[in-house]
Amino acid sequence: MIVAALSAGPSFPLVPNVLLLLPLMVALVVLIGSRLTRKADGFFQLLSVGSAAVCFIASCILLGVSREQAPVDMFPFLVIDEGKTLNIWIAAILDRQSAGMMFIVTLIGLLVQVFSLAYMKDDDAKPRYFGALSLFMFSMTGIVLAENLVMMFIFWELVGLSSYLLIGHWFQKPAAADASKKAFITNRIGDFGFMIGILLLFGANHGNVSFIDLQESVSEGTLKVLAQTQPWFMTAAVLCLFMGAVGKSAQLPLHVWLPDAMEGPTPVSALIHAATMVAAGVYMMVRISFLVATTHTAAMWIAGVGGVTALMAALMATQQNDIKRILAYSTLSQLGYMVMAVGLVAMGGHGHGEVAEGHPAMFHLYTHAFFKALLFLGSGAVIYACHHEQDIWKMGGLSQHMKGTTVTFAIGTAALMGVPWITSGFYSKEGILIVAWNECKVLFTIGAVTAALTAFYMTRLFVVAFLGKPRSDNAKHAMDVGFLMMLPLLVLAALSLVSGFPMVADGLKAMMPKGHHAGGTAVLAISLVALIVGVGLGWVLYKGKDKDPLKISLFANKFYIDEIYAVLVKVFQDGLAWVVTGLERLVADGIVARLPTMLATWVGARARALQGGHLQSYTLLLGAGLLLAIYLIVFVLPGAAGVGH
């Protein structure tokens, strides 16, 4: 009865409103209240954690009762002419896709907040931190529940604001302040494309950008006609929407912000990389997969961008020494897998009516959320125990003193590698590779090489940081973390092992679109070879080493992409400065400053010509003036007076 009361009934149901509004109210209370008093910091922290717990319970209820149903209208946003001209509502879409994603977001959000209670206990700005976490939760739940593209875009921008606040939490550090600005500005580039895509669909579909109505239009309406008669339009619209995902999910060429986002607190990194922000781009692309399926050209570009991002990020990860940056590049790589899957499924013509929870991109997003949150929180435990040391070459031997953290981190590592049959990452990664095998052998090859690289750099990380002898006093005296930090690690470790099982009741077919079942045995064999090669190379090269025997400057310097961008930005800035300076000299110094002087000089010269000092000139002008006056008095004025009568 309680579940029914919470989930059904009136047009203003409780569950979606709890999920959406509770984090917002808590964020406002914490952020404003902490400004009024500093004596209630503990209360504000517990209030934020408590609201996350309530949202998690609500998401469990939603997951238990969710079904394909009409959206739930909450309140109007833009309604013109009683909805005939424009009709956009803030509304919640309650289906299996939104319910599953909401479960992930709220669970990891709750675990991150619990972990933060211990990790941030000595921070001077705890209320601001927890208030920003609640704002982040509000923003992400809005994206997940969004019934239309306009609502999604509003919360999309709020996620950008929230990430700016959290990445720059330690704004006193120049690196953190710069990283938050870099993330904010880079995402605005992608968001501009997202906005253009929304406007294109808005105009083409008569002002309606609801996901349900868009899908109906693709099936039997205006967009179906456009896809057949003007395929370039659908390609342009989908690629513009994809630009938003490129920014949020940190795909090439807008990937540069995500590694720098590591300057924020480590729990924030777990939240951004696992269940929020970067996941939003993939979630949006799966939500509009029916649009992607209308244009083969856009689908190929999407798959290609994802594949190249996966490979390049994995290569970069092999040469990073900061434990958080290694995991950051692994996130880029895994997001590339997901984006590649979106394009590949659409290339196979399976975007129409795709079962959301059966989409391989969503499956990998779900499993990745658990083991990536585990790895980031595990790295946070290591950094905390090593007095904020992040260089893996200054660690070593942590398994001797941090047994609980070591075991959970090993589970997360195995899941990211895709160790067969016992980890969730294996099932979700295999799903993507099978789709690639059937649709594009080139992208399958890229995926297989990326899998080998993933096994290599994660073996490198684990061997260097956790095995061998301590290489610093911090590592030598490291101790395992307390209960508040260990509890989230244990929960996430369990989920990293079992979260893939419910979706593979009938093997990989349970999560695959029709037509993508072939090649399972070959893909499995190649995956096993990739895993063995990657782990073997990592073990042989790094076991017992005190310094990196493999130095590849191209990978260590991230293909010099940041340096290239710095040069391009400087050239653009210098060019813009030259144009502005030229315009200023022309307009401000030239026209505005000199024109009045030139005009006055010209008028003065003409007037001076009339004052020549010659009596005959004055007499002539006086006579002409008298004649004009007589003409006006005799001929013009009487006529005007007659007209008046």
* Strand duo 86-92 + 505-508: pairing: unpaired
Backbone angles phi, psi at 529, to 5 degrees: -65, -45
> How large is the greatest C-alpha to C-alpha distance in the chain, in angstroms?
118
Closest to 295 (Cα-Cα) out of 241, 364, 359: 241
- Where residue 543 falls (left for φ over 0; alpha for ψ -120 to 50; beta otherwise) is beta
Instruction: Show the tokens assigned to 443.
Output: 């992208």
Instruction: Show the tokens assigned to 574.
Output: 């210098």
Rounded distance, CA 366 to CA 641, Å?
90
**Apex CA 404: angle with CA 403 and CA 405, to 5°?**
95
The pLDDT of residue 487 is 95
Letter string b/e over residues 67-97, b meaning 16 or more CB atoms within 10 A of that residue's CB: eeeebbebeeeeeeeeeeeebbbbbbbbbbb
Report the Cα–Cα distance between both ends of the chain, in Å, rounded: 90
User: Could you tell me which residues are beta bridge partners of residue 4?
Assistant: none
Backbone angles phi, psi at 221, to 5 degrees: -125, -150
pTM: 0.85
Closest to 374 (Cα-Cα) out of 499, 488, 500, 259: 488
Concatenating the DSSP letter of every residue in 250-267 gives T-TTS-THHHHGGGS-HH
Concatenating the DSSP letter of every residue in 315-370 gives HHHTT--BHHHHHHHHHHHHHHHHHHHHHHHHHTT--TT--GGG-HHHHHHHHHHH
Q: Is 220 helix (H, G, I), strand (E, B) or coil?
A: helix
Instruction: Show the tokens assigned to 539.
Output: 């073990």
Rounded distance, CA 384 to CA 390, Å?
9
Question: Cα dihedral angle (307, 424, 318, 259), rounded to 10 degrees?
Answer: 80
Closest to 565 (Cα-Cα) out of 257, 151, 187, 148: 257
Rounded distance, CA 56 to CA 35, Å?
28
Instruction: Please enumerate in sequence order all residues whose Cβ is within 8 A of that of 56, keeping only pairs 6 or more positions apart, or say none.
Output: 103, 106, 107, 109, 110
Residue pair 376/461 in contact (Cβ under 8 Å)? The answer is: no
Residue pair 16/92 in contact (Cβ under 8 Å)? The answer is: yes
Cis peptide bond prior to 174, omega within 30° of 0: no
Low-confidence ranges of the chain (pLDDT < 50): 1-12, 352-357, 504-516, 643-645
Rounded distance, CA 256 to CA 240, Å?
20
Rounded distance, CA 479 to CA 271, Å?
24
CA 443 to chain centre: 24
CA 440 to chain centre: 27
Give me the residue label for tokens 């309530």: 54
Closest to 7 (Cα-Cα) out of 90, 94, 76, 73: 94
Closest to 302 (Cα-Cα) out of 252, 254, 268, 256: 252
- Where residue 365 falls (left for φ over 0; alpha for ψ -120 to 50; beta otherwise) is alpha
Residue 254 carries which side chain, given as an amino acid letter? L
Concatenating the DSSP letter of every residue in 286-312 gives HHTHHHHTT-HHHHHHHHHHHHHHHHH
Number of C-beta neighbours around residue 122 at 10 A:
7
Rounded distance, CA 139 to CA 520, Å?
39
The pLDDT of residue 585 is 74
User: Could you tell me which residues are beta bridge partners of residue 438?
Assistant: none
* Strand duo 72-80 + 86-92: pairing: antiparallel
Query: How deeply is 609 buried, as exposed, middle or buried, from its count of CB atoms within 10 A (0-12, 13-18, 19+)?
Result: exposed
Number of C-beta neighbours around residue 11 at 10 A:
8
Residue 177 carries which side chain, given as an amino acid letter? A
